[in-house]
Amino acid sequence: MASPRGAVVFDIDGTLLDSVDQHARAWVEAFAHFGIQAEEAEVRRQIGKGGDQLLPVFVDPDRLAREGETIEAYRSDLFKRRYLDQVRPFPGVRALLAHLREDGLTVALASSGKASEVEHYQKILGIEDLVDAVTSADDADRSKPHPDIFEAVLRKIPDCPKESVIAVGDTPYDAEAAGRAGLATIGVLCGGFPEADLSAAGCIAIYRDLQDLLDGYAQAPFSVKKL
């Protein structure tokens, strides 16, 4: 176990894993199956939220109450069957996490995905041995941009002072959720959100991807000298 001197909490989809397009397509197909029209670009802008926050953008309240769980279950199954095999790690993921652990930092994951998906993602990423704590939508009443998931991960790393914990994410929803939990966020552009959106959501630094973050490690806000 890493030292309690600090921690870095990573989002997964769009941050560690190149999976945003696949999630967007699964949602579009799921909506179409239920007769709901949604443009892929519109759905893509909502990826980073959990289903509880994404569905209300496209489904009216009455229908959401009746069929929301059914639509989400269909989407989840569709993603696993058709798209999960297509997702790939972004460059530099394992190397960065290993570097953080070598510096004595705790590594955690905080995803809006379901626990079963997050477990599988760790295998795809090959990082199971580098992660100290994991939270998913199953640990929170509300998904991002609400703070519940980050508050849950903080409870799992109680020895790490909150002021020494920093989040890394690719969406404004990550930064908003982390901020509401009292954490700063490093943004990455590999998920497809514009830099301006990440800055407006409160990201304190922005990098192209995790390889870029690793390359600039000595100056990054989570370097040991700054925690």
For residue 168, the 8-state DSSP code is E
Band the pLDDT of 3: cuts 50, 70, 90.
very low
Confidence tier at 4 by pLDDT (50, 70, 90): low
What pLDDT, in 10s, does the model give residues 200-226? 999 999 999 999 999 999 999 975 545
Buried b (16+ CB within 10 A) or exposed e, 146-160: bbbbbbbbbebbeeb
**Could you tell me the pLDDT band of residue 5, with boundaries at 50, 70 and 90?**
confident
Q: What is the DSSP letter of 138?
A: G
Short-list 6, 9, 7, 22, CA closest to 175: 9
Q: What is the mean pLDDT of residues 57-81?
A: 96
Mean predicted confidence (pLDDT) in 9-37: 97
What tens digit of pLDDT does each residue of 118-133 get? 999 999 999 999 999 9
The count of residues in the chain is 227
Q: What was the pLDDT predicted at 116?
A: 86
The residue among 93, 98, 149, 169 whose CA lies nearest residue 124 is 93
| pLDDT for position 112 | 83
**Residue among 54, 55, 166 at smallest CA distance from 110:** 166
**Average pLDDT, stretch 60-67?**
97
Q: Percent of the chain, pLDDT > 90?
A: 87
Residue whose tokens read 């790490």: 160
pLDDT category, 2, cuts 50, 70, 90? Answer: very low
Distance between CA atoms of residues 206 and 211, nearest Å: 12
Question: Residue 40 contacts by C-beta under 8 Å, 6 or more apart in sequence?
Answer: 24, 25, 28
